[in-house]
A and B are shown apart, each in its own frame.
Chain A
């Protein structure tokens, strides 16, 4: 049975009532989000920009051209090679971080915490990292259509807004990832980092939405959240399985053979998601509700290259 799982089980960042506890937040402050691509922000931030010029981090040399600032000529090279080269520096700009949380009805499943709660904690942690690094953070909710969004967050002082927004998300509606991505990116077409946290159990398919997002040249990171019961159902007997989102029913005799068939379908599905993301350069991390959010952020998202 699908439930809004209580926040029992292992003590996580929000064990005391909030999504993230102070100790975890303190550890997050040492982290920053990683952009595989050089980003182009609007304001000066703490991130290497595609724009080379006045930054402090050396990036490259190029031949001197008339009009270049003399201060950037490398005189040591000029004395050895008798040619002028100009030192290039990376500009440090801010990063657009967009967090998209799946709040469909299926996300209510899971134990010891629901998939939705885990997704909210992950979004809170990632958003908080962005805020403390002066990135521009935007968080949105989607199910069958884009839900409420919280935009233009920047700086540590907006963390409370972020957490309060996430805390108010409840599960409901069907999943339509394609529609949600399209509307989100249409409304905010900037490049940047797009983190999608979803169970990808989309009857319409996840492929179209993710492919469309690539057209906006954003760096995508998909966090695939699944419940343990979805990976290995603990069912048996003559059952009428009802989809929590669509109400669609499937009659099935669950026995060892049926579970083997399910496992084969599950493996094919998960393998398909992973191959799809790899093929289109989408960073992908799969987790289950039994993995605590702090482990995911401090360990797996680091290994996955989203934070450092």
Chain B
């Protein structure tokens, strides 16, 4: 609060004057008593005659003081500094990074941001529109521009930080697109821990956070191999001081592993140890800092469930033989190309069959391309060689195309996705848009000698693992698309205990994964667990960054945003004076 005329505060001297006058002008009712003897004998106690008693018990005096003080303050022309809201649209952008859970700001950075955003909503002008954007792994428009305060308030109340590193630039750009006008205001609450706020016109950042030291678990997972299961715990010290962090891992409360992790500044270390059995592993890092939420992590010890596979093919003996021994839960073959008959299978292998657009799901297309995949064939290629392939891709892990002969292949023209192996044209192509995941092998098995090579079973196993084992490698901030398989709805139990009912849409359940940890999906057929890691290894960086040029803009607007509050003091003075008058009138001739 600033005062336009501080000298007017001298008027507050009227308050003690008022008290003195009050003491002097006490109006007493005259009352005749038979004798004042006993009253005068009670005088020595002085309790009944202490002048301060008049002050203590006089509501009238209090109202007079309130009126005088309010008037004096009004004369001082007080005003509040704040963001100017102008008359244009206002977009509130809240950083939903993991670092916004830091408690160096009470109660947390995010809660403080939410409270300030709520204040801004309360100061919106009549009819002024506002929007709410949550800056998570991807920006989310929680509420588009509206003047519905209730909707904005409800969305603000339900917003929560995710276990991700927010994409602030994208969120600010999205916000600027929501409110394109010149009078727009984009108010950003962030800790700017990983990236500064873009200095766009109308953007006013509010940077929260004071602490910078944090050590946390950035990854925790169990790797299944032929030798057994191995747990990997990766911890990072994001601070500038070395940290000695005891690590404890337990399974269902029973200790499994413990170690002391000594981490230098900005150092990352990984602890690995063999584990066995099933269940949920819980890792705990005993370090105290401003961000307690990344000190614990959970991982599923159970191996990923095997997919069920449907082969839609006119007949392919090598493939059918291989599916009998492949790591699948169950395999079936059909010639029916109607997608309705494919329900209930995790992966559908389309072998040289022509289909219409395929519904969302997992597909291995061999010698054919469904028309709704962005890789329409433009003819064929004769005798292509497999010139290059991506050995790092999990689909081609341990796959060696050396010596593979191909008589003819489709000439793929992919518009997106990734080419895994290519000769004159792409020969192996993978695509994933979240709802539709597919691998396209550009040639039929019968047109090559691939089934005779060891690469064939390895490629098929890798492909089925990538298509069906999609629950592996999930990160917070992603949306897990799960085929509905005829079910209308599932229940998602989040790591924080919240229960979310998910309805199927277009044959797919879209499961939001804002937090890291173990999710449980309860379907009509049973229950499934998903292990979700932090959205980013850098999510634990909590050191508040600079606001950049945007803050200077905001400060300038604060000056312009002086909100005069003296009229409120005038109103208060008038109300107090009116109350005093009413009370004095009512008490006229009555008890003081």
Residues of A within 8 A of B (CB): 1-2, 105-109, 115, 199, 201, 203, 227, 230, 233, 235-246, 248-255, 257-258, 260-262, 264-266, 268-269
Query: Does A239 contact B28, Cβ atoms closer than 8 Å?
Result: yes
Which residue of A105, A201, A237, A269 is within 8 Å of B592 (Cβ)? A237
The smallest C-beta distance from A110 to any residue of chain B, in angstroms, reads: 8
Shortest beta-carbon contacts, A-B, top 9? A258-B48, A237-B591, A109-B34, A265-B42, A201-B35, A106-B34, A265-B41, A261-B42, A240-B28
Binds A, one of B49-57, B247-255, B398-406, B430-438: B49-57
Interface CB pairs A-B, < 8 A, 17: A230-B38, A235-B31, A237-B29, A238-B27, A241-B31, A242-B33, A243-B35, A245-B35, A248-B36, A250-B36, A250-B39, A252-B39, A252-B48, A260-B47, A261-B48, A262-B42, A265-B38
Interface residue ranges of B52-110 to A (CB < 8 Å): 53-54, 57
- Determine the chain B residues whose CB is within 8 A of the CB of A250 once the complex forms: 36, 39-40, 43
- Determine the chain A residues whose CB is within 8 A of the CB of B30 once the complex forms: 239-240, 242, 249
Query: Does A255 contact B29, Cβ atoms closer than 8 Å?
Result: no
Query: Does B33 contact A241, Cβ atoms closer than 8 Å?
Result: yes
- Determine the chain B residues whose CB is within 8 A of the CB of A242 once the complex forms: 30-33, 36
Which residue of B31, B37, B42, B53 is within 8 Å of A240 (Cβ)? B31
Residues of B within 8 A of A (CB): 26-43, 45, 47-49, 53-54, 57, 590-592
The smallest C-beta distance from B453 to any residue of chain A, in angstroms, reads: 104
The smallest C-beta distance from B35 to any residue of chain A, in angstroms, reads: 4
The smallest C-beta distance from B316 to any residue of chain A, in angstroms, reads: 102
Query: Does B29 contact A239, Cβ atoms closer than 8 Å?
Result: yes
Query: Does A238 contact B53, Cβ atoms closer than 8 Å?
Result: no
The smallest C-beta distance from B516 to any residue of chain A, in angstroms, reads: 64
Extra A-B contacts (14), CB below 8 Å, given A2-B34, A253-B592, A262-B39: A2-B32, A2-B33, A203-B35, A203-B37, A238-B28, A239-B28, A241-B39, A249-B30, A252-B39, A254-B48, A257-B47, A258-B48, A262-B38, A262-B48
**Best-buried of A105, A238, A260, A264 by chain B (most CB within 10 Å):** A238
Query: Does A230 contact B47, Cβ atoms closer than 8 Å?
Result: no
- Determine the chain A residues whose CB is within 8 A of the CB of B45 once the complex forms: 261, 264
Which residue of A2, A203, A238, A265 is within 8 Å of B26 (Cβ)? A238
Q: When chains A and B are docked, how far (Å) is the Cα of A227 from the Cα of B30? A: 20
Which residue of A227, A237, A240 is within 8 Å of B34 (Cβ)? A227
The smallest C-beta distance from A93 to any residue of chain B, in angstroms, reads: 40
- Determine the chain B residues whose CB is within 8 A of the CB of A258 once the complex forms: 42, 47-49
- Determine the chain B residues whose CB is within 8 A of the CB of A255 once the complex forms: 48, 53, 57
Q: When chains A and B are docked, how far (Å) is the Cα of A261 from the Cα of B47? A: 7
Q: When chains A and B are docked, how far (Å) is the Cα of A254 from the Cα of B49? A: 9
Q: When chains A and B are docked, how far (Å) is the Cα of A245 from the Cα of B591? A: 25
Closest to A257 in B: B47
The smallest C-beta distance from A259 to any residue of chain B, in angstroms, reads: 8
- Determine the chain A residues whose CB is within 8 A of the CB of B34 once the complex forms: 2, 105-109, 115, 199, 201, 227, 230, 243-245
Which residue of A106, A238, A251, A252 is within 8 Å of B35 (Cβ)? A106
With contacts A238-B592, A250-B39, A252-B49 taken as known, whether A243 is within 8 angstroms of B54 at the C-beta atoms is no
Closest to B45 in A: A261
The smallest C-beta distance from A168 to any residue of chain B, in angstroms, reads: 22
Query: Does B54 contact A253, Cβ atoms closer than 8 Å?
Result: yes
With contacts A230-B38, A241-B39, A265-B38 taken as known, whether A1 is within 8 angstroms of B32 at the C-beta atoms is yes
Query: Does B591 contact A236, Cβ atoms closer than 8 Å?
Result: yes
- Determine the chain B residues whose CB is within 8 A of the CB of A249 once the complex forms: 30, 36
- Determine the chain B residues whose CB is within 8 A of the CB of A245 once the complex forms: 34-35
Q: When chains A and B are docked, how far (Å) is the Cα of A109 from the Cα of B39? A: 16
The smallest C-beta distance from A190 to any residue of chain B, in angstroms, reads: 32
Closest to B57 in A: A255
Q: When chains A and B are docked, how far (Å) is the Cα of A249 from the Cα of B40? A: 10
- Determine the chain A residues whose CB is within 8 A of the CB of B35 once the complex forms: 106, 199, 201, 203, 230, 243-245
Closest to A230 in B: B34
Q: When chains A and B are docked, how far (Å) is the Cα of A225 from the Cα of B453? A: 130
- Determine the chain A residues whose CB is within 8 A of the CB of B37 once the complex forms: 201, 203, 243, 269
The smallest C-beta distance from A208 to any residue of chain B, in angstroms, reads: 16
- Determine the chain B residues whose CB is within 8 A of the CB of A105 once the complex forms: 34
- Determine the chain A residues whose CB is within 8 A of the CB of B49 once the complex forms: 251-253, 258
Closest to A201 in B: B35
The smallest C-beta distance from A107 to any residue of chain B, in angstroms, reads: 8
**Best-buried of A236, A248, A250 by chain B (most CB within 10 Å):** A250
- Determine the chain A residues whose CB is within 8 A of the CB of B592 once the complex forms: 237-238, 253
Which residue of A1, A108, A246, A261 is within 8 Å of B31 (Cβ)? A1
- Determine the chain B residues whose CB is within 8 A of the CB of A238 once the complex forms: 26-29, 54, 592
Query: Does A269 contact B38, Cβ atoms closer than 8 Å?
Result: yes
- Determine the chain B residues whose CB is within 8 A of the CB of A241 once the complex forms: 31-33, 36, 39
The smallest C-beta distance from A198 to any residue of chain B, in angstroms, reads: 12
Q: When chains A and B are docked, how far (Å) is the Cα of A106 from the Cα of B34? A: 4
Q: When chains A and B are docked, how far (Å) is the Cα of A201 from the Cα of B590? A: 29
